[in-house]
């Protein structure tokens, strides 16, 4: 009986009997120099982006004992601002609603501008803002967001409170009750 691989009329491996071309070669990186050797760290020489930032506070300050004015009634102030905007907006309807939502993006952009200015990240302008400016811009974002929410629903306080409870539970879960 003859071997089938060598029998006449049967296909055979065309590389049969040839030496393995990869035999004895090192692995892909063996013996090659490290292409990053001698290069500085990617952030070497760059300023610390957190330099000059205020230290985060471990706990929030106690609220003032006797608040008066808008701070005393956040939700009443939001309703008043919403009513004022409704009365003085040149564009109403669906387009006015969309523009009110877009106002939030404008305010967020102002936060970014203030952060860039407070850190002096624009070399052409240098330091143009303070961290107090950033705080003020963040407050504008919150106010604008609450007025936008009031535009969508008269139940702003309830909607916000329910959502805050969900986020708090999702984020803090049982850790909140144990502290």
For 85-105, write each residue's pLDDT tens digit: 999 999 999 999 999 999 999
pLDDT in tens, 149-163: 999 999 999 999 999
| Inside any domain, residue 141 | yes
pTM above 0.75, yes or no: no
Residue 152 CB neighbour total at 10 angstroms? 12
Structural domain of 139: 92-171
Report yes or no on 132 lying in a domain.
yes
- Tally of domains within the chain: 1
Do residues 137 and 117 touch, judged by C-beta distance below 8 A? no
> What are the b/e assignments for 12-50, b being 16+ CB within 10 Å?
eeeeeeeeeeeeeeeeeeeeeeeeeeeeeeeeeeeeeee
106 in a structural domain: yes
In a domain, 154, yes or no: yes
Cα 179 to Cα 2: distance, rounded to the nearest angstrom: 83
Whole-number pLDDT of residue 173: 86
Structural domain includes residue 158: yes
**Would 118 be classed as within a structural domain?**
yes
Least confident of 88-102, 140-154, 163-177: 163-177
Residue 33 belongs to a domain? no
Share of the chain above pLDDT 70, in %: 59
Instruction: Identify which has the larger pLDDT, 56 or 8.
Output: 56
- Say whether pLDDT at 70 is over 90: no
**Tens digits of residue pLDDT in 2-46:** 444 444 555 566 667 777 665 665 555 556 666 667 766 765 666
Position with higher pLDDT, 149 vs 59: 149
The pLDDT of residue 5: 47
Residue 66 lies in a domain: no
């Amino acid at each position: 009986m003859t071997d089938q691989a060598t029998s006449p009329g049967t296909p055979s491996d065309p590389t049969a009997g040839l030496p393995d071309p990869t035999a004895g070669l090192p692995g892909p990186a063996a013996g090659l120099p490290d292409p990053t050797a001698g290069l500085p760290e990617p952030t070497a020489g760059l300023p610390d982006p957190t330099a000059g930032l205020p230290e985060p506070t471990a706990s929030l300050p106690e609220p003032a004992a006797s608040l008066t004015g808008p701070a005393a009634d956040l939700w009443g102030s939001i309703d008043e601002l919403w009513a004022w905007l409704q009365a003085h907006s040149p564009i109403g309807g669906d387009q006015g609603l969309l523009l009110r939502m877009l106002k939030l993006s404008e305010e967020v952009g102002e936060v970014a501008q203030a952060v860039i200015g407070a850190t002096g990240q624009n070399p052409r302008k240098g330091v143009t803002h303070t961290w107090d400016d950033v705080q003020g811009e963040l407050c504008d974002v919150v106010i604008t967001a609450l007025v936008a929410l009031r535009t969508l629903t008269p139940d702003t306080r309830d909607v916000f409170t329910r959502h805050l409870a969900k986020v708090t539970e999702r984020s803090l879960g049982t850790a909140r009750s144990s502290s």
